[in-house]
Chain A
Amino acid sequence: MTTLSEKILGAQAGTYIDRHVDRAFCHDGTGIQAKIIYDAIGAPGIACPDSVYIIYDHIAPANNSQTAELQAELRALAREYGVHFLDIGSGICHQVMAEGRVAPGEVVIGADSHSCTLGALGAFATGVGASDMAGIWVSGETWLRVPDSVGIHFSGSLSAGIEWKDAALSYIAELGMDGATYAAIEFTGESASSVPMEGRLTLCNMAVEAGAKTGLFYADKETEQYLAGYSVTCQLQVPDKPDYVKDCYQDLSDLEPVCAVPHRVDTIKPVSDLAGTSLDQVFIGTCTNGRFEDMARAARLLKGHRVKVRTIVVPASEHDYLKAVNTGVAADLIKAGCTIGAPGCGPCLGAHMGVLGRGEVALSTANRNFKNRMGVGASYYLCSPSTAAASAIYGEITDPREVI
């Protein structure tokens, strides 16, 4: 029967459609490129300014004058057309959009590959490049090919010290880096309803690492409750025996802490096999794992300890940062010796705030460990916030179950 993508897009898999875009967002990096294309097209204006968001997160605050000048240009465009503009410190575009700016059933297009994160809310959310974003500014719509869907069926429950990030890395390893290319991933099964929103955001965020167009959870009571916190009305979605082109079964009870090893996100090893690997840096943050719950889990382990390796924590949003401050989580992190950065992407894309040097080894809660990305000649492992925190305490890769 019909998949959630087919329902939202109103057409069968394989069909090409032109679709109105409910939310269109970009960041400082893709936004300036979209502006260049938009200016070159010479359109009379932005078609639906109220659905357009520009959120500064990638190199925020600016790292040099050239970046600052480009960012100033984009600020001017935002002012001129009256689109939603969220300046430095607001947070990572995906997280900021998830904070009450997206509702289930919407079509959400972001000029960033991790836009699939917002499928956690039951929206059809996918990434495009700068030209496509400029086209959406011009017309309010874009073309899409309705994707086939891959089903990931969850059963069981996570054990202590195991996180949704471990589940995410495990499903990516099972599918492979192109295991869901052009397809949507639907997270379903008897345990799907028990996945909290922060876990859904982490799981959907990584869908693109398997090549997927998006990752989706059906909007349920958890979605309703989460969105009620932002006064957003939630239309519930019920699976209609959807037809999947591929199925992947994951018993959450069987999972253990894992790392994706350099330099492939689909190549994982149990943390216990890597224990003792010496580290130069630990980074906790990003659109995958920079949320309040991630920082809180890290803080719980770090409390009363002092990190043995430089540790950078970058909150995913102002909202998450403030919550960390108000609950004492931020203080615990600072007392443990962590450096807290301004909300945003941090060093993930290798541009600022903790880029690695040649030969350095790091642990990161991000979603990509591509060669040279976070520092030329460096190597880094991807893991959960608990694994990152436990490893920061000892300065080497450590199984979080030994610390909790």
Chain B
Amino acid sequence: MTALKGSGPAVCIGEDIDTDLVIAGRYLRTKDWNFWAEHVFEDLDPGLAKRLKGAVLVAGKNMGCGSSREQAARALHEAGVLAVIAPSFARIFFRNCINVGLPVLECELPGCHDGMTVLFDCTEGWIEVDKARYIFRPLSSGMQEILSTGGLIEYWKRRLNR
């Protein structure tokens, strides 16, 4: 199960963050998902990985561009990120996040500073920062279904057992 609502301190990153920067190509060949969590964002900022547990990642536009590597979404999820917010996402990364059970919220916030408290609700489609509420279009019902079961593994398990 994935929590479709929650709150946490923000970790701010820039625009056009590609998936190579989320998890480098040299770390991809393993089955150990936690290994990716250890190396997440290593080439962007080696100190970032330790700050992600329970955090809400706030990115600039075009978050997750580039390679289709699902390890990028998986690394963030394994590192304990609660949700990713960005004004726009690269589409494969967006799908991958939903498939690993990591909420993605397409919404432009007026600014970001590390540690600011971010509240979010994927189902209703809002984010709250400093008592100001920002509305975004909720995910499609199909995406919400995949996300709420915890990702595509659980989703397909349920479908096959129906």
Contacts and interface: CB of A to CB of B under 8 A. Distances in A.
Interface string A67-91: 1001000000000000000000000
A213 B94 CA distance: 12
B150 to A, nearest CB: 11
Contacts of B160: 41-44, 138
Contact of A70 (B26, B31, B62, B140): B31
A351 interface: yes
B53 to A, nearest CB: 23
A135 B68 contact: no
Contact of A113 (B67, B100, B140): B67
B68 A131 contact: no
Contacts of A70: 29-31
B153 interface: yes
B140 to A, nearest CB: 6
A182 B115 CA distance: 31
A225 B28 CA distance: 39
Contacts of A16: 140, 142
A231 interface: no
A403 interface: no
Contact of B95 (A44, A129, A177): A129
A212 to B, nearest CB: 9
A372 B21 CA distance: 8
Interface centre among B69, B91, B140 (most CB of A within 10 A): B91
B152 A134 contact: yes
B62 A350 contact: no
Interface string B51-73: 00000000001100111111101
B69 A372 contact: no
Interface stretch (A32-40, A215-223, A253-261): A32-40
Contacts of B114: none
Interface in A122-170: 127-132, 134-135, 138-139, 143, 145
A370 B18 contact: yes
Interface string A336-366: 0000000000000111000000000000000
B31 A36 contact: yes
A44 B156 CA distance: 12
Contacts of A368: 18, 20, 66-67
Interface in B90-106: 90-92, 95-96, 99-100
B131 interface: no
Contacts of B152: 37, 41, 131-132, 134-135
Contacts of A350: 20, 24-26
A42 B160 CA distance: 9
A178 B68 contact: no
B148 interface: no
Interface centre among B67, B95, B100 (most CB of A within 10 A): B67
A59 B29 contact: yes
A18 B60 CA distance: 31
A37 B25 contact: no
Contacts of B26: 350-351
Interface in A23-62: 29-30, 32-33, 36-37, 40-44, 59
Nearest to A351: B25
A211 B73 contact: no
Interface in A225-279: 264
A59 to B, nearest CB: 7
Interface in B118-162: 140, 142, 151-153, 156-157, 160
Contacts of B43: 371-372, 376
Contacts of B151: 131
Contact of B73 (A67, A129, A145): A129
Contacts of A181: 62, 88-91
Contact of A182 (B16, B24, B91, B153): B91
A112 interface: yes
Interface of B: 16, 18, 20-21, 24-26, 28-31, 43, 61-62, 65-71, 73, 88-92, 95-96, 99-100, 140, 142, 151-153, 156-157, 160
29 contacts: A16-B140, A30-B68, A30-B70, A32-B29, A32-B31, A37-B153, A42-B157, A59-B29, A70-B29, A113-B68, A127-B92, A128-B68, A129-B68, A129-B70, A130-B70, A131-B100, A131-B152, A132-B99, A138-B156, A139-B156, A145-B140, A177-B65, A178-B16, A178-B90, A264-B16, A351-B25, A372-B43, A373-B20, A373-B25
Given A41-B153, A376-B24, 11 more contacts: A16-B142, A43-B156, A111-B68, A113-B92, A128-B68, A138-B156, A211-B90, A213-B91, A350-B25, A370-B21, A372-B24
